[in-house]
Structures are given as C-alpha cells and as structure tokens.
A and B are shown apart, each in its own frame.
Chain A
Amino acid sequence: DTEVTQTPKHLVMGMTNKKSLKCEQHMGHRAMYWYKQKAKKPPELMFVYSYEKLSINESVPSRFSPECPNSSLLNLHLHALQPEDSALYLCASSQDQDRVVGELFFGEGSRLTVL
C-alpha cells in the first residue's frame, strides 16, 4: 500500500464546477509534488512544494491552484477546467527536493473527467 493517500480516487466535474483534489503523507517528507498523467504518457510535473513553499510551477494554467496547508497535506483546487484537462493526477512526496538520493513516493492518483 502506498504511503501517499489521494482523495478522491475518481472525480467527474463540469466545466463550471469548483472541486479540489487532496493528498496526504505522514512520512515526514518536506517536498510534495503534483503530476498530471495522460493515457500512455509519462507523468508531467505541474508543481513542487518544498518546506511548504511553492518552488516550481511548470507554467500551469491558473485554473489549477495548488495549496500546501502544512507539511503533510497538499491540495489542488480546480476551477473552470476544460475537457482536455481530463487525466490522472498524481501526488508524490520525497524526503527533500534537493537530496541526490531522493526517492519519489507516488500516490495511486485521482482520475479526473471533465465533461
């Protein structure tokens, strides 16, 4: 079982809805990540939080808004999404963003469908 927990596992939303994806880890990791994965493609980095501060934003549209309330939690707020945003959203964590050896632990993902 993964030690990174994501909720919900599945989400269907309309283009005018506002929803949130949630991620939690209790491994004491200080870096947390959001990735987007389309079918048959590798994970694409969206955001990185290091010590609860946003350190990387990969030019993600503003309809995706990340939030890191504390070192264990990471949210992704969704608003006015497009059908092409439908994908598997993966949360991950690592001990530290900058360690040479830094295993990335992934959650099971939240599968998002935008109608």
Chain B
Amino acid sequence: GENVEQHPSTLSVQEGDSAVIKCTYSDSASNYFPWYKQELGKGPQLIIDIRSNVGEKKDQRIAVTLNKTAKHFSLHITETQPEDSAVYFCAARIGGWGAQKLVFGQGTRLTINP
C-alpha cells in the first residue's frame, strides 16, 4: 500500500547547527508534501509544504527539497534554536478525486542541545 518512510527517528544537534530530516514515498501520483511540527501536548502544526511542480521552497530558516524522480523529499532547518525541539512529521497526499488523504511518516524527534 501507500507508504511514507521517514529518517532518522531521533536527531540531536547543537544549537546553531543544521538539521536534516528525509522522507521517501511510494505513490508516484503524490503531488503535495507537507511537514508538520508537533510540540508536547499539542496538535501537529504545518510548518512548510511543497507541491510536485516545485523542487525547493524556503521560509526563513526552514527549507524543503523535493526529488520527484527519486520520490524523496527533505526538511532542512538552519541555525537551530531550542524552540525547534519537537517531533516532526512528513506527509504525502495520495488518492484520487473525492478520496484524497495524507499519509504520514513515522516522525522524527528533534532535540536541540544548548
């Protein structure tokens, strides 16, 4: 079935360094790839997304890259700060008209060490 794999499951970086999280997907028809940040006790919050007609998108310290041929996409966080510590989920939209849904990766627990 449709599958999104996410690596690593945990990531620890020093404050100020960069963090990279990678995801691969199986459905070549997927055309929308969001990233969500979930802080403890809260619901997931969208931080950035990318559509299949774009290879890269940047928003301040956060960027996402997409390689449609290889079916993988990555989240890049630069100049990390303690408030970036959270669980991050990638997702891919699958399904036909009237049945579209998001499939999530397993999540990455990011810890920023001061």
Contact = CB atoms under 8 A, between A and B. Distances in A.
A101 B49 CA distance: 9
Interface of A: 2, 4, 40-43, 45, 48, 50, 55-56, 90, 92, 97-98, 100-109
Interface of B: 31-32, 34, 36, 41-46, 49, 51, 89, 93, 97-102, 104-107
A55 B98 contact: yes
B97 A98 contact: yes
Contacts of B93: 100, 102
A100 B51 contact: yes
Given A106-B36, A106-B44, 18 more contacts: A2-B45, A41-B107, A42-B107, A43-B104, A56-B99, A90-B44, A97-B98, A97-B100, A98-B97, A98-B98, A100-B51, A100-B93, A101-B49, A103-B46, A104-B46, A104-B102, A105-B46, A108-B41
B4 to A, nearest CB: 9
A75 to B, nearest CB: 18
A107 B42 CA distance: 8
Nearest to A103: B46
A42 B104 contact: yes
A43 B42 CA distance: 12
A45 B102 contact: yes
A42 B105 contact: yes
A95 B56 CA distance: 24
A92 B98 CA distance: 17
B106 A41 contact: yes
A97 B101 CA distance: 8
A56 B45 contact: no
A2 B101 contact: no
A38 B98 CA distance: 27
A109 B105 contact: no
A107 B100 contact: no
A100 B41 CA distance: 29
B61 to A, nearest CB: 20
Contacts of B31: 100
List the 7 closest pairs (A to B, CB-CB), nearest first.
Answer: A106-B43, A42-B104, A106-B44, A108-B43, A103-B46, A109-B43, A107-B43
